[in-house]
Structure 1
Amino acid sequence: MSAEPHATLPPVRLPSDAELARDALVAPLFARAVRLARWAGPDTRVDLGGELVAAQLPEAAAALGLDADPNGPVLASQAWRVAVDTGLVDVTEPEDDGEEEYGTALPGEDVALVTGGAPGEVLDLWLSALDTVLADAAVPDLDDLVDALDAGSEIDFDQLDWNPRREADFLDGVLANLYLLTVSERGASEGPIPLPVLAASMVIPEGMGEPTDAVLEQVSDAMMRLDDQFRQLEPIGLVAFQPVDEALMAEADGEEFAAGSVAGAADEEDVTRYGMVRLTPLGLYGIRARMLEAGVAAPAVGDLADKGADALLDAVSGYPEGAAQAEIEQWLAGRELPVAVTELLAAARGDDGGGPLRRLRCQQALAPAGQEAEPAVRAVLDDPELGGLARVWLAERGVADVPAPAASMVFWLTVDTIAAQLAADGETAELPMLMESLTAHHAGFFEQAWRVEHPATAYVLEAMGRLHPDKKAAKEARKAAFKARSRQP
């Protein structure tokens, strides 16, 4: 899968390998491939390339219970190709010299893995099947290529303006976008992605306002390609797909269809008629596996469970809040709480640029901790970087005899808290209210704040000068920011 090798995606939450393997085994196309592998025997005949001979396709369809289905032979052919490509079937092709009319096929050794293998081995077989299906999905309908056949054997790709590598890259890009939309904070909990949104993400340039007619036509073309491709990808268990409403296509010409699809993306009721798609948990697993193979950093929740607290806080500092919480919970689950709290507090220290967000994630990790954590938290009360965090944690639990913080610690904690929020979410609508809350109880806050020995002091004061809801306080913040900058070497 082509992708930016240094890109880092939000972490995905995946079921266990055992659950994913069960999903793989019931995916219709994979299940059919397994059944045909077991059906294969001494009387099975194949052509060059390992394809079942046409005369045996009805028999194969019957073995799948599809003898009454008009598309049974086609479905049997697809399943057979998957069985061959995954090694579920071993074929001996006929000799190319014409002496042998047919080759033979028998169940392969990998068939035993379906029932006797580990979940990971089943998933490896499924990934091989996925490669086959993705390769097929990137090929256009051969019925459209009949006129382009050259001398009855070769396809004139120049005449078709069709490039196999480009088509495969397009499908990879679509699936990468679908993966990102799914694992982002928007998340799978909000349901499937409208097909127009996915097509537009591949066609409409970033920052473009009103799409031109030419761009809308490209969106329409992309949607129809995706409609066909997702129909092929659903049987392998990669996606759950609601196709484009054929009646809708009949009601409008191409330009009207494209314009309606883009406009309809804002209308929840209408947009479903233009197609909806989502990656299944098995699909998330499959696309992530392909991304990892391509060198893309595609983490999964739980990857850090056996890592140290420093690696945990560094990583989750870049995660959306929900994913960070899930990763932290898994990390804590395998450790004794007092020891884990001590490690987290130690890892949260640091005056580097990532320090404030590490401390915010540390605070998030400590939030559900009970009395067992108190000794470790008390141990850092005098720490200049962690003492404020410790006092907040103890105060929230109503712990008595907690010493009052020095004024310098209060100011330092205020700067650190705002710096962390800026690093986590940027300049959100809630941040001005946080700024007002943190400064309201300290008369002359900005007269002291510029002296705070924190690497983010000037940066935070400048942000407060832009965002503080009180105009007088914002002006004081800008003056304090100038003083803080003047102190820097």
Structure 2
Amino acid sequence: MSAEPHATLPPVRLPSDAELARDALVAPLFVRAVRLARWAGPDTRVDIGGELVAAQLPGAAAALGFDAADEEGPVLASQAWRVAVDTGLVDVTEPDDGDGDEESGTAVPGEDLALVTGGAPGEVLDLWLAALDTVLADASVPDLDGLVDALDAGDEIDFDQLDWNPRREADFLDGVLANLYLLTVAERGASDGPVPLPVLAASMVIPQDMSEPTDAVLEQVSDAMMRLDDQFRQLEPIGLVEFRPVDEALMAEVDDEEPAAGSVAGGAADDEDVSRYGMVRLTPLGLYGIRARMLEAGVVAPAVGELADKGADALLDAVSGYSEGAAQAEIEQWLTGRELPAAVAELLAAARGADEGGPLRRLRCQQALAPAGPEAEPAIRAVLDDPELGGLARVWLSERGVADVPAPDGAMVFWLTVDTIAAQLAADGETAELPLLMESLTAHHAGFFDQVWRVEHPATAYVLEAMGRVHPDKKAAKEARKAAFKARSRPS
């Protein structure tokens, strides 16, 4: 799958393999492929490439429950047969090529058909992924009536004249699915609802540095939208997406001078208008399938729960790059099944460090400890004198009303303040909430900026510079800038 190697995506939450396998087994196209694999027998005949001969298609359609008068039956049967062959549900013996006879090859149920009922969930999902590859390949081929006519006439196909590049088409669809995946898993993204087709088309067509798309670009968005409409119609039966096609009435509105999809791509249309242009959402099975393809392409696409058997150091390093919600879900799974006192001690040990990632590791550690009960207290008390963890420990104990919590000295208060702001900057950047946090942390300390620049924390100057930019009190912001200069000028 086309993707940026070594790119790291937000983590995805997936159902269990067993649940995903059940979804795969009821996907309409997969069901049809299984039925045809069971239907195949001694009398089944195939052409070169393993395709059913034309005379067999009515029987295959009947096996799928289609009436003889249903023109769609043979088409769907042909598609399901390709899936059955490509996944190994059917074994074909192709006819000999070159003798000019009308003899055809044969087909029988394949060994992998037994996996449908007797295989492990992972084996079923492997079959489904193979089916997905076939469907994606089919969806990348445009509907070219001229191509069929040329083939029937025995003419040579000029792909340049058709303006169809198979690799380019496959890369386009891969890019669309990658963008849809990112929109689905991103925090504050489209995970709670479907994505409008024009928005998805615009993500592939409009350059990021183009503030106002031209009419020509918007026309390209409209063309891409219609292309995607056809492709998602093909992808829905394999269970990859839930799809609401473009309203057919829109297709008849060909007299509009302005590309209609442009207003939707730019967010100018209301909900009812948006839905008319098509809506698409990846299913859980679809998320699994696109993630599998991304991993194969070298993209770092984590899934919540895959760190459950790793150490606390790997856990905190990984979730430091997660959103707060995803980090909490991963931490909860990591804690499940572990003895809490030992797990808390391991988390605290992993949170130490004067490196750039240290503040955010400690923030995630604090997040991990937040739901912990009284069993965690001995391990947390054990770090009260630790210069990096003592403040964190005092906060945890104080929030639970624990007695005998020693008051922190001034050095620890200032160090914890710098560490907390550094962690928030690393997690979310300069958010609207950050000035309020800064004001809260500095309001109760007279002469705060006269002392904080001396704090032996690697992020002291960086934090003070941020406070100088966003502190809501102008006088305090000015003092922060002066303190940042002192911190930068201090001898190492």
Q: Structure 1 length normalisation: TM-score? A: 0.97
Contact 2:359–2:420 (8 Å) recurs in 1? yes
Across the two proteins, how many residue pairs are aligned to each other? 489
Contact 2:360–2:424 (8 Å) recurs in 1? yes
Contact 1:196–1:265 (8 Å) recurs in 2? no
Distance 1:208 1:14, change over 3 A: same
Distance 1:144 1:240, change over 3 A: farther
Distance 1:84 1:147, change over 3 A: closer
CA drift at 1:253:
3.9
**In 2, Cα distance between equivalents of 1:261 and 1:152:** 45
SS of alignment partner, residue 277 of structure 1: strand
CA drift at 1:154:
2.9
Among 339, 343, 354, which residue is 1:340 paired with? 343
Distance 1:487 1:303, change over 3 A: same
CA drift at 1:259:
4.7
**In 2, Cα distance between equivalents of 1:452 and 1:331:** 34
**In 2, Cα distance between equivalents of 1:247 and 1:166:** 30
**In 1, Cα distance between equivalents of 2:159 and 2:475:** 69
Distance 1:275 1:33, change over 3 A: same
Once the two structures are overlaid, the 10-residue window that deviates more, 217-226 or 66-75, is: 66-75
Contact 2:37–2:108 (8 Å) recurs in 1? yes
Contact 1:43–1:104 (8 Å) recurs in 2? yes
**In 2, Cα distance between equivalents of 1:154 and 1:120:** 43
Contact 2:370–2:396 (8 Å) recurs in 1? yes
SS of alignment partner, residue 252 of structure 2: helix
CA drift at 1:31:
0.5
CA drift at 1:271:
0.6
SS of alignment partner, residue 218 of structure 1: helix
> Residue by residue, what CA displacement relative to the aligned partner does 1:309-350 show, whole Å, maximum 9, x if unpaired?
000000000011111111000000021110000000000000
Contact 2:20–2:125 (8 Å) recurs in 1? yes
**In 2, Cα distance between equivalents of 1:16 and 1:154:** 49
SS of alignment partner, residue 255 of structure 1: coil
Distance 1:28 1:53, change over 3 A: same
Contact 1:21–1:119 (8 Å) recurs in 2? yes
Contact 1:305–1:334 (8 Å) recurs in 2? no
CA drift at 1:172:
0.5
Distance 1:318 1:2, change over 3 A: same
CA drift at 1:100:
5.3
Identical pairs, percent: 90
CA drift at 1:188:
5.3
Distance 1:381 1:170, change over 3 A: same
Among 144, 159, 162, which residue is 1:157 paired with? 159
Distance 1:254 1:116, change over 3 A: farther
**In 1, Cα distance between equivalents of 2:242 and 2:470:** 44
Query: What residue is the counterpart of 1:90 in the other structure?
Result: 91
CA drift at 1:266:
4.7
Once the two structures are overlaid, the 10-residue window that deviates more, 65-74 or 289-298, is: 65-74
Query: What residue is the counterpart of 2:440 in the other structure?
Result: 437
Distance 1:150 1:98, change over 3 A: closer
> Residue by residue, what CA displacement relative to the aligned partner does 1:103-139 show, whole Å, maximum 9, x if unpaired?
1111001100000000100000000000000000000
SS of alignment partner, residue 188 of structure 1: coil
CA drift at 1:251:
2.4
Contact 1:415–1:456 (8 Å) recurs in 2? yes
**In 2, Cα distance between equivalents of 1:169 and 1:488:** 54
The yes-or-no answer on 1:215 pairing with 2:220 is no
CA drift at 1:261:
4.5
> Residue by residue, what CA displacement relative to the aligned partner does 1:194-224 show, whole Å, maximum 9, x if unpaired?
1111100000000211100110011011101
Distance 1:33 1:146, change over 3 A: closer
CA drift at 1:262:
3.2
Query: What residue is the counterpart of 1:241 in the other structure?
Result: 243
CA drift at 1:101:
1.5
> Residue by residue, what CA displacement relative to the aligned partner does 1:220-267 show, whole Å, maximum 9, x if unpaired?
111011000000000000000001111022224475344555365652
Distance 1:402 1:458, change over 3 A: same
CA drift at 1:146:
4.7
SS of alignment partner, residue 327 of structure 1: helix
**In 2, Cα distance between equivalents of 1:119 and 1:366:** 34
**In 2, Cα distance between equivalents of 1:178 and 1:200:** 12
Distance 1:255 1:380, change over 3 A: farther
Distance 1:244 1:438, change over 3 A: same
CA drift at 1:55:
1.5
**In 1, Cα distance between equivalents of 2:478 and 2:117:** 71
**In 1, Cα distance between equivalents of 2:3 and 2:462:** 34
Distance 1:336 1:253, change over 3 A: farther
**In 1, Cα distance between equivalents of 2:42 and 2:256:** 52
Distance 1:269 1:335, change over 3 A: same
> Residue by residue, what CA displacement relative to the aligned partner does 1:144-163 show, whole Å, maximum 9, x if unpaired?
43566696243210111210
CA drift at 1:48:
1.3
Contact 1:47–1:102 (8 Å) recurs in 2? yes
Contact 2:141–2:166 (8 Å) recurs in 1? yes
For structure 2, the 5+ residue unaligned runs are none
Distance 1:348 1:255, change over 3 A: farther
SS of alignment partner, residue 278 of structure 1: strand
Query: What residue is the counterpart of 2:362 in the other structure?
Result: 359
SS of alignment partner, residue 189 of structure 1: coil
SS of alignment partner, residue 154 of structure 1: coil
Contact 2:199–2:264 (8 Å) recurs in 1? yes
Aligned-residue CA RMSD in angstroms?
Answer: 1.5
Contact 2:28–2:237 (8 Å) recurs in 1? yes
Query: What residue is the counterpart of 2:196 in the other structure?
Result: 194
Contact 2:450–2:483 (8 Å) recurs in 1? yes
SS of alignment partner, residue 481 of structure 2: helix
Contact 2:91–2:110 (8 Å) recurs in 1? yes
SS of alignment partner, residue 448 of structure 1: helix
CA drift at 1:142:
3.0
**In 2, Cα distance between equivalents of 1:296 and 1:26:** 29
SS of alignment partner, residue 258 of structure 2: helix
CA drift at 1:186:
2.5
CA drift at 1:58:
1.3
